[in-house]
Amino acid sequence: STSGASVEWRGSPQVDCKDRAVLIVDDILDEGITLAAVIARYRDAGAATVYSAVMLRKQLTRPRSADADFVALECPDRYVFGRGMDYRGYWRNLAAIYALREAAA
């Protein structure tokens, strides 16, 4: 599957964030499920403010669970890969960002 529906926590923040400003940095913002969960976790841990920055934000027609405060690039609502983003371990080390072609109508 190339879509998510829940967050599986594999670790916790190792630094106390109580009364601190936190910046969450992520590669891509799709529906915002993961970003919303991470923001909530830091707020629940007592962060004074929580900001988020993403390299890519998909241009969606449906609503997101969370949006980023800082966005480097917008991209179409297609599967993207390269520059650290992969599909099942493939294409992660490509020197650029690519998107799959749109499905034929």
Torsion of CA 39, 19, 11, 63, to 10 degrees: 0
Per-position b or e across 8-36, b if 16+ CB within 10 A of its CB = eeeeeeeeebeeeebebeeebbbbbbbbb
**Is 86 considered catalytic here?**
no
Candidates 26, 27, 30, 44; catalytic one: 30
Residues with catalytic function: 30
